[in-house]
Amino acid sequence: MTTVDRVTNASFEAWKAAYDRARQRDVPFETVSSAPVLPLTTPADLSGTDADAEIGLPGQFPYTRGPYASMYRTRLWTMRQFAGFGTSIDTNKRYHYLLDHGQTGLSVAFDLPTLMGYDSDHPRSEGEVGKCGVAIASLADMETLFDGIPLSDVTTSMTINSPAAIIWAMYLVTAQKQGTKLDQLGGTTQNDILKEYTAQKEFIFPPAPSMRLVIDTMEFATKHTPRWHPVSVSGYHIREAGSTAAQELAFTLADGFAYVVAAIERGLDVDSFAPRLSFFFNSHVDFFEEIAKFRAARRVYAKRMRDKYGAKNERSLMLRFHTQTAGCSLTAQQPLNNIVRTTWEALAGVLGGTQSLHTNSMDETLALPTEHAAKVALRTQQLIAYESGVANTIDPLAGSYFIEDLTNKMEASANEIFDQIDEHGGVVPAIEKGWFQREIAAAAYHYQRELDAGQQIIVGVNKFVEQGDDTKLDTLFIGPEAEREQLERLAKVRRERSQGAVDGALERIRTDAASSVNMMPAFMQASEAYCTLGEMIDVLRDEFGTYTEAPAF
């Protein structure tokens, strides 16, 4: 603390006196994470910071100012809008539409049955097929999804976790059938199982076998798909589940380090896989807090990777991340306001140095985005990129007393939280004790109570409420016909494939699951034989068991 400096600084004292005399608005002056905010930061707040060592330059350790030397002056961030709904035919059409409008990467949203490893015709899938994303039950659906889209030319991000290894195998086989070599493929599988236990709760197996599958994909990628990011360590869902910004940062990095440790234990050299690890953060409404979070993430990661995990390759130290604006910040009331919120959330991502970005559509609290709403969201990014001028210079907020102080505070909070996780024995034991889940639930409840008490404001919800607000947006309605069509598609696959090949491939999955070999070749063989996702997952459920969460409040 720098009280001494301040006392000796007469002008500061004069300001302080004037400030204290002034009437202050009766609001808590805190971030959306309930962190207090100073009225003013001055050089005194940074007097303990070695600017060269902590802030440095872009492309140089500890990468606070960005992973690359030239950042957006070489290449803008990838505009990657997450999309998927209905059958693979429906989603394939949307991908062609987005690519035609200037989108530069694809991002697949899967439906809940796929995310949970159930085939579209499983009884538990009823009513959920194609609702929140696209239904992928076998290689046939994957082939249709990318029909007419050369996988050698686009990069694809796939939001899939528990069944990620299998879905990725289907993607690899689809690419091979298009004539693309595996080493040409670029993209990302989310494949971050740890945050499923803490936040998103779409888990199937217990942590140990789940971790094994993640490390199998990392190992396979290291050997065969050098341009693929096998894991995107995700804070997005932790934040959406209600965590604070500091918790999002620390929990996510801790998950990332847990994969690093597990891969090292597998016998992989840290510098062989770390350059392909990527991250995924939320960009919430508190503009400066978010920018500080992104900048701190790079610094904390670089230091730990070098000092604790022995990484030497520069690319192992640079944290690269995707950003999505905060779905939980959007409102059903006065939905056009969502465009504005999304704009500054996206801007925070860009000023924080993101490598790719998804901007939410204004209608997401009502339904899946319509084509029109998705286009406005994409245009929002294009406006920032081409009109606002912010992409012309690198890390323009560096050196701001406020931003640098906030970045330091984020780093300190993250380190404190790492210590707490260590006290619980590490990430997996803390999950099993429900610690993360309790921390997140408590933060979510705290925020909701502040909101109810008017200490946090959401325009249109608890301030400037319009009675009889009649803004009507068109919404995308996924009717029952998508489910019907998907069931027909799946029945056809089951009819036309060779049962012998299916049985053999599933038997291999069983054998491999019981041993410790890398399972990717078995998943690729089964995909080629048109085994369904559900059939493969069922074998694994048998071998690995399933996970039930003990509720934590």
Partner 1 sequence: MTAATEADAMVRPERDLVARVRAGESIACARMMTWAERGDARFAAVYGEFESELGRARRIGITGPPGAGKSTLVERLATHWRAQERTIGIVAVDPSSPFSGGALLGDRVRMSSLALDKGVFIRSMATRGVFGGLARATDDLADVLDLYDRDDILLETVGVGQSEVDVARSTDLTLVVLHPGGGDTIQAMKAGLMEVADVYVVNKADMPGLEQLVHQLTDTLDVRDVPLDERPPILTTVASSGEGVAELAERIDALDAERRASGKRDARRAANLRLRVRRIVEGRLQHDIWQESGLARTLDERVADGRTLSAYGLADEILNAYRERRNLEGPA
Partner 2 sequence: MQASEQPIRVLVAKPGLDGHDRGAKVVAAALRDAGMEVIYGGLHQTADRIVEMAIQEDVDAVGLSILSGAHMTLFPKVRALLSEAGGGHILLTGGGIIPQEDMDALAEQGVGRLFGPGTTLQQLVDYIRDEVSNRRAAARS
Which residues of the shown chain bind partner 1 in the complex (CB under 8 A)?
433, 548-551, 553
Question: Which of partner 2, partner 1, none does residue 175 bind to, with CB < 5 to 8 Å depending on kind?
Answer: none
Count Cα neighbours of 352 within 13 Å in the Cβ-side half-sphere.
37
Classify residue 86 as left (phi > 0), alpha (psi -120 to 50) or beta.
left
* Distance of alpha carbon 291 from alpha carbon 348, whole angstroms: 5
**Binding segment toward partner 2, per CB under 8 A, in 100-108, 225-233, 294-302, 442-450:** 442-450
Q: Which is nearer to partner 2, 58 or 460 (CB)?
A: 460
DSSP, collapsed to helix, strand or coil, labels residue 416 as helix
CB of 432 to partner 1, least distance (A): 9
386, with CB counted inside 10 A (0-12, 13-18, 19+), is exposed
CB of 427 to partner 1, least distance (A): 17
Of 62, 66, 163, 242, the residue at the interface with partner 2 (CB under 8 A) is 242
First to last CA, the chain: 35
Q: Which is nearer to partner 2, 495 or 553 (CB)?
A: 553
**Binding segment toward partner 2, per CB under 8 A, in 113-121, 144-152, 393-401, 533-541:** 113-121
Question: Is residue 352 within 8 Å of residue 294, measured between CB atoms?
Answer: yes
Phi, psi of 283, deg, nearest 5: -120, 105
| Residue showing tokens 């399933």 | 546
CB of 251 to partner 1, least distance (A): 22
Number of residues that bind partner 2 (CB under 8 A): 47
* Distance of alpha carbon 176 from alpha carbon 60, whole angstroms: 38
Count Cα neighbours of 504 within 13 Å in the Cβ-side half-sphere.
9
**Binding segment toward partner 2, per CB under 8 A, in 98-106, 288-296, 451-459, 485-493:** 451-459
CB of 30 to partner 2, least distance (A): 19
Binding positions for partner 2, 333-352, rule CB under 8 A: 333
CB of 198 to partner 2, least distance (A): 11
Q: Which is nearer to partner 1, 179 or 551 (CB)?
A: 551
CB of 290 to partner 2, least distance (A): 19
Of 44, 268, 292, 366, the residue at the interface with partner 2 (CB under 8 A) is 366
Of 99, 461, 487, 502, the residue at the interface with partner 2 (CB under 8 A) is 461
* Distance of alpha carbon 216 from alpha carbon 218, whole angstroms: 5
CB of 438 to partner 1, least distance (A): 12
Q: Dihedral of the CA atoms 166, 169, 171, 173 (nearest 10)?
A: -140
- CA distances, 67 to each of 104, 443, 444 (Å): 20, 31, 32
Q: Which is nearer to partner 1, 477 or 553 (CB)?
A: 553
Beta bridge partners of 36: 30
Q: Is 448 in the site for partner 2 (CB under 8 A)?
A: yes
Of 116, 233, 270, 285, the residue at the interface with partner 2 (CB under 8 A) is 116
Q: Which is nearer to partner 2, 277 or 458 (CB)?
A: 458
Of 202, 290, 404, 411, the residue at the interface with partner 2 (CB under 8 A) is 202
Q: Which two tokens stand for residue 453?
A: 């008490």
Q: Which is nearer to partner 1, 203 or 280 (CB)?
A: 203
Question: Is residue 105 within 8 Å of residue 149, measured between CB atoms?
Answer: no
Q: Is 300 in the site for partner 2 (CB under 8 A)?
A: no
Of 57, 261, 451, 487, the residue at the interface with partner 2 (CB under 8 A) is 451
Q: Which is nearer to partner 2, 199 or 531 (CB)?
A: 199
Binding positions for partner 2, 6-65, rule CB under 8 A: none
Question: Which of partner 2, partner 1, none does residue 487 bind to, with CB < 5 to 8 Å depending on kind?
Answer: none
Q: Is 365 in the site for partner 2 (CB under 8 A)?
A: yes
- CA distances, 433 to each of 161, 359, 427, 462, 549 (Å): 22, 35, 10, 36, 10
CB of 485 to partner 2, least distance (A): 17
Q: Which is nearer to partner 1, 433 or 497 (CB)?
A: 433
Burial annotation 166-191 (CB, 10 A radius, 16+ → b, else e)? bbbbbbbbbbeeeebebeebbbbbbb
Cis amide leading into 62 (omega within 30): yes
Q: Which of 29, 19, 5, 17 is nearest to 450 (CA)?
A: 29
Q: Which two tokens stand for residue 2?
A: 């720098």
CB of 548 to partner 2, least distance (A): 8
**Binding segment toward partner 2, per CB under 8 A, in 167-175, 278-286, 315-323, 457-465:** 457-465
CB of 154 to partner 2, least distance (A): 27
52-60: long-range contacts, CB 8 A cutoff, minimum separation 24: 54/299, 54/408, 55/398, 55/399, 55/404, 58/353, 58/394, 58/395
The residues of the shown chain that bind partner 2, judged by CB under 8 A, are 112-113, 115-116, 118, 124-128, 131-132, 196, 200-203, 240-242, 328, 330-333, 365-368, 440-441, 444-445, 448-449, 451-452, 458, 460-462, 475, 478, 548-549, 551, 553
